[in-house]
Amino acid sequence: MAGIEYKRGRTFMGRIPYGEDVLDSLTGFVREKGIKKGRLQMIGAVQRAVVGFYDSRSGKYVDIVYDKSMEVLSLTGNISVKDGEPFVHAHVTLGDEQGRSFGGHLMGGTVVFAAEFIIEEFQGEDLERKHDQTTGLALWDI
């Protein structure tokens, strides 16, 4: 096990406008603010959602598409650096009209109905994602 100690930096609270792509908006925001490491959370609702399930056998994400309104019960994620740019990795739990929950790795194509986010920046050395041969994933290079 390995970890890096960070100090707290800036904290942002904000809203993503109706119709925007969740992952694109969060990524755009952290790049615009120059946030290279930190954590994020979001609640709200989406008009449609796309989440991924990582199939460890094929080494690929399988998309799961929900083409309907869903509550965002919880979206949690982190910010680090990949290919020299701030990169958002987020997982989302969605609720349907019967209170059932679904979720996965947040993918592009998840469209906001209403969304409130909190982003906390960390200060310290950059944390970079590099290709990991064992898993096939871009993991933190610690």
Q: Looking at 2-10, 37-45, 101-109, 126-134, which segment touches Zn ion (CB under 5 A)?
A: 101-109
- The strand pair at 70-82 and 128-131 is best described as parallel
Determine the interface stretch with Zn ion among 32-40, 104-112, 116-124, 127-135 (rule: CB under 5 A): 104-112
Least distance to Zn ion, CB of residue 91, Å: 6
Which phi and psi (to 5°) does residue 62 adopt? -100, 125
Beta-carbon contacts of 104 under 8 Å, excluding residues fewer than 6 positions away, are 51, 52, 53, 64, 91, 92
CB 67 within 8 A of CB 50: no
Q: Which part of the chain contacts Zn ion (CB under 5 A), choosing from 62-70, 97-105, 113-121, 131-139?
A: 97-105
Minimum Å gap between C-beta 29 and Zn ion is 19
| C-beta of 106 vs 115, nearer to Zn ion | 106
Beta strands at 85-95 and 101-106: parallel, antiparallel or unpaired: antiparallel
Q: Is 37 in the site for Zn ion (CB under 5 A)?
A: no
37, 72, 94, 105: which one binds Zn ion (CB under 5 A): 105
Q: In the complex with Zn ion, which residue's Cβ is closer, 5 or 83?
A: 83
* Sequence-ordered list of residues with C-beta below 8 angstroms from that of 9, at least 6 positions apart, any chain: 35, 38, 120, 121, 122, 123
> Which residues contact Zn ion (rule: CB under 5 A)?
105
